[in-house]
């Protein structure tokens, strides 16, 4: 009989020639468990998803409650579904006043797609600026914004009138003009290897967009829901974008995303033609119930208040000559090494020793550290000891 690992390779699509192949049987809190007694501390959070840990009891309770009521009942935007209403209301209550409508999607990429559409229709312009080394999703519209043309080649032609600026480079901002519909930026670049922009830069982007009448879209898909030490990373900069993209950590482990804007912008999808953006499953009631519970946990358990201290512990413990730099904000961290071989060797060693870390799409010489915000100080110490042990065993 074939093992699950063999069936995985045989029957499910792979996205690379070297999947990690770590088999998971169950997950709880900051831990993942394998079928043969393996226990891993998850320092990746399923790629910035499990901000409140895996299977938080409040999320499970909310899911169970909703399971007993209804699952899918109709396409998004028609029936009044209490979990959507409650989640939208709560989300808007923690966002600045300009955000007064939420459109729920299934994923981050779909949030990107929706935001591009409303920005183009609202401004009646076509040009969109994204940043080099950006990642906003893999669907073809979102992929057009990917600031790494190696990923475009096989899928061209993608969307026209997409242009790129360098992230955190004020000198490029003059390229944004009255022809520009929108500028889309990650609030902190994730897949570029965690690049934190200067607050002054973000303020200049805001000003330039205001000056030329372009909308500013912040992708908070990776930075959202407390990861950087604020509920949303835009709060670090003292400015507000026009549209926010959410997903990943939003759902407490369930699939959901959203784009959030002012009603004046959002309403363009309502007419000429009607149904300008529709989705069957977007805002699934079970995902919305989970997302509301997750947001409530972040707030009630005051998880954000501990993020900086925990991040500081990682920075303090992870002192090693092979680490050139520790970049990041809050628990969105990156250890800059020299080569991919080192990254691979350390991740494999750590996995074998029960610690999950990973790397980045556009920066394969750095290690990703993005644990659940609920990680304890002891767990941080244990995980860092394993990483240091791995570093001490580096070849050469």
* 14 versus 272: smaller Cβ distance to ligand PLP: 14
Confirm or reject binding of residue 206 to ligand PLP (CB under 6 A). Answer: no
* 220 versus 379: smaller Cβ distance to ligand PLP: 220
* 236 versus 306: smaller Cβ distance to ligand PLP: 236
Separation of alpha carbons 175 and 172, rounded Å = 6
Residues 152/214, Cβ–Cβ less than 8 Å:
no
Query: What contacts 270, CB < 8 A, 6 or more positions away?
Result: 276
Q: Hey, is 217 helix, strand or coil?
A: strand
* 257 versus 282: smaller Cβ distance to ligand PLP: 257
* 59 versus 390: smaller Cβ distance to ligand PLP: 59
Report in angstroms how near the CB of residue 247 gets to ligand PLP at its nearest.
Answer: 5
Q: End-to-end CA distance of the chain, in Å?
A: 42
Please tell me the number of Cα atoms within 13 Å of 109 on its side-chain side. Answer: 9
Confirm or reject binding of residue 114 to ligand PLP (CB under 6 A). Answer: no
Confirm or reject binding of residue 219 to ligand PLP (CB under 6 A). Answer: yes
How far, in Å, are 75, 229, 278, 285 from residue 79 at the CA level? 8, 36, 13, 11
DSSP 243: E
Separation of alpha carbons 189 and 167, rounded Å = 8
Size of the site for ligand PLP (CB under 6 A): 16
Confirm or reject binding of residue 190 to ligand PLP (CB under 6 A). Answer: yes
Confirm or reject binding of residue 113 to ligand PLP (CB under 6 A). Answer: no
Confirm or reject binding of residue 135 to ligand PLP (CB under 6 A). Answer: yes
Residues of span 251-270 touching ligand PLP by CB under 6 A: 257
Residues of span 274-333 touching ligand PLP by CB under 6 A: none
Separation of alpha carbons 285 and 289, rounded Å = 6
DSSP 54: B
Residues 215/122, Cβ–Cβ less than 8 Å:
yes
Confirm or reject binding of residue 165 to ligand PLP (CB under 6 A). Answer: no
State the residue number with the nearest CB to ligand PLP.
Answer: 108
Report in angstroms how near the CB of residue 187 gets to ligand PLP at its nearest.
Answer: 9
* 81 versus 112: smaller Cβ distance to ligand PLP: 112
Residues 25/15, Cβ–Cβ less than 8 Å:
no
**Positions that interact with ligand PLP (CB under 6 A):** 47, 107-109, 112, 135-137, 186, 190-191, 219, 221-222, 247, 257
């Amino acid at each position: 009989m074939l093992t699950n690992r063999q069936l995985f390779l045989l029957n499910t699509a792979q996205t690379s020639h070297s999947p990690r192949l770590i088999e998971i049987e169950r997950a709880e809190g900051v831990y993942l468990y394998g079928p043969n007694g393996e226990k891993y501390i998850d320092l990746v959070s399923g790629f910035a998803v499990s901000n409140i840990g895996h299977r938080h009891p409040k999320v499970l309770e909310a899911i169970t409650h909703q399971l007993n009521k209804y699952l899918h009942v109709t396409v998004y935007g028609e029936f009044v579904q209490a979990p959507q209403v409650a989640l939208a209301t709560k989300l808007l209550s923690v966002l600045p006043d300009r955000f007064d409508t939420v459109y729920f999607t299934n994923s981050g990429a779909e949030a990107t797609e929706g935001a591009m559409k409303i920005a183009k229709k609202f401004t009646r312009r076509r040009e969109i600026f994204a940043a080099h080394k950006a990642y906003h999703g893999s669907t073809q519209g979102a992929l057009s914004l990917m600031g790494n043309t190696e990923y475009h080649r096989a899928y061209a032609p993608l969307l026209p009138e997409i242009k790129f600026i360098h992230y955190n480079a004020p000198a490029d901002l003059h390229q944004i003009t009255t022809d520009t519909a929108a500028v889309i930026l990650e609030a902190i670049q994730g897949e570029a290897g965690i690049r934190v922009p200067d607050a002054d830069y973000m303020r200049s982007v805001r000003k330039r967009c205001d000056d030329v009448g372009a909308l500013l879209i912040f992708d908070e898909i990776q930075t959202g829901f407390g990861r950087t030490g604020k509920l949303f990373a835009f709060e670090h900069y003292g400015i507000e974008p026009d549209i926010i993209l959410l997903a990943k950590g939003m759902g407490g482990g369930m699939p959901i995303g959203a784009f959030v804007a002012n009603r004046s912008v959002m309403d363009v999808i309502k007419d000429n033609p009607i149904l300008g953006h529709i989705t069957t499953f977007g805002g699934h009631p079970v995902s919305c119930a989970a997302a509301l519970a997750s947001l409530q946990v972040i707030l009630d358990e005051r998880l954000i208040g501990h993020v900086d201290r925990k991040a500081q512990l990682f920075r303090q413990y992870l002192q090693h000559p092979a680490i050139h730099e520790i970049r990041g904000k809050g628990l969105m961290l990156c250890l800059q090494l020299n080569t991919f071989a080192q990254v691979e060797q350390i991740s494999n060693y750590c996995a074998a020793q029960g610690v999950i870390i990973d790397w980045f799409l556009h920066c394969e010489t750095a290690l990703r550290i993005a644990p659940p915000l609920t990680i304890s100080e002891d767990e941080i110490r244990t995980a860092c000891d394993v990483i240091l042990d791995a570093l001490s065993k580096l070849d050469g």
